[in-house]
């Protein structure tokens, strides 16, 4: 959970800090700005979904793994259909073109219901 909070804090620094200058725990298309995501969704929707949605699923799976490891409640990722999740991500970036796709994934992930950790 601490690494997730650190990542959120790094994102909150804004666009004045170049990601290349900050050591990150993540890499890939998910770190791109929503403005780039919006353009790719328009130009090549299949590529966008194949790559961005896969990245989002991997990020959420990793976040859940950390929660489970720390004996915390995990997000119920299948509580929302793939299409609903994709539409939420597209809506976030459409409404926040100056933010990162990752922020949209975090908003989605944190909106999902959770289930308690079971030993």
Of the pLDDT bands very low, low, confident and very high (cuts 50, 70, 90), residue 12 is very low
DSSP-derived secondary structure for 20-52: GGS--S--SGGGSBHHHHHHHHHH-HHHHIIII
Could you report the per-residue pLDDT of 67-117, keeping only the tens digit for each? 999 999 999 999 999 999 999 999 999 999 999 999 999 999 999 999 998
Of the pLDDT bands very low, low, confident and very high (cuts 50, 70, 90), residue 26 is low
Contact assessment for residue 15 and residue 98, using Cβ atoms and an 8 Å cutoff? yes
Could you report the per-residue pLDDT of 46-64, keeping only the tens digit for each? 999 999 999 999 999 999 9
Q: pLDDT exceeding 70 applies to what percent of the chain?
A: 77
Domain residue limits, the chain: 28-115
pTM: 0.77
SS3 117: coil
Residue with the two structure tokens 């994934």: 105
């Amino acid at each position: 959970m601490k690494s997730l909070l650190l990542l959120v804090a790094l994102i909150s620094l804004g666009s004045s800090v170049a990601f290349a200058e900050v050591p990150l725990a993540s890499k890939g298309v998910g770190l791109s700005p929503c403005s780039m995501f919006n353009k790719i969704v328009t130009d090549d929707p299949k590529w966008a979904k194949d790559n961005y949605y896969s990245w989002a699923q991997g990020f959420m799976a990793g976040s859940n793994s950390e929660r489970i490891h720390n004996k915390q409640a995990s997000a119920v990722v299948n509580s929302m259909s793939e299409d609903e999740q994709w539409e939420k991500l597209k809506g976030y970036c459409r409404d926040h073109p100056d933010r990162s796709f990752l922020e949209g994934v975090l908003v989605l992930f944190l909106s999902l219901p959770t289930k308690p950790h079971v030993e």
